[in-house]
Amino acid sequence: MIEKDDWRLLNDVEYLKMAYINPTDGEEICKHAPHLRHCEFCLESVEDNSHQWWFVPADLSCCICEECYNDFKEDFEWKKLDGWDMEWFVRCPKCGEILRKFLSEDYVYECSKCHTLFSEDLNDYLELD
C-alpha cells in the first residue's frame, strides 16, 4: 500500500495519471529504448533481463518497475494494454518528432523533419550542415 507522502511521489509524476501502459521486460527496454534507465518512481535500474518486468506508457516517456506499477496502478487509474501491439519509437532530441523504430547497423537515426542525426542513447546528437 502507499501513503500520501510516499517518497516515490516526490518526482513529478502527475503526467502519468490515466496513462495507457504496456507491460514489457528489461531486455526489450535495453534493446529498443535504452534511454529509459530507471523506474520513474523509485529509480530502480533497468537491467538487460527478460525476467524483470517493466511497465511503459504508450508514449515511451518513462518506465515503471513491477512493484511501483502494482502500488500505484489504482491511484493513477492506469489502463493496461496487452503489450502485443506495443510500438517502439524514438523521439528526435531536437524537435521532438516521433520517428518509428528503425535500427540501422550503426544505431544512428536521422530525423525526417529537422534532419538532425542522433545516436541511440539520444544524449549525443550531431547537427547536419
The residues binding Zn ion (CB under 5 A) are 39, 41-42, 44, 65, 68, 92, 94-95, 97, 111, 113-114, 116
Q: Which residues of 64-81 are buried (b: 16+ CB within 10 A; e: fewer)?
A: bbeebbebbeeebebeeb
Q: How far is the CB of 84 from Zn ion (least distance, A)?
A: 24
Cell numbers given for 82: 496487452
Q: How far is the CB of 90 from Zn ion (least distance, A)?
A: 10
Q: How far is the CB of 55 from Zn ion (least distance, A)?
A: 9
Residue 28 or 69 having the CB closest to Zn ion: 69
Q: Are strands 98-100 and 108-110 parallel, antiparallel or unpaired?
A: unpaired
Residue 41 or 78 having the CB closest to Zn ion: 41
CA 15 to chain centroid: 14
CB 56 within 8 A of CB 38: no
Name the 3-class secondary structure at 129. Answer: coil
Q: How far is the CB of 113 from Zn ion (least distance, A)?
A: 5
Residue 9 or 42 having the CB closest to Zn ion: 42
Residue 81 or 91 having the CB closest to Zn ion: 91
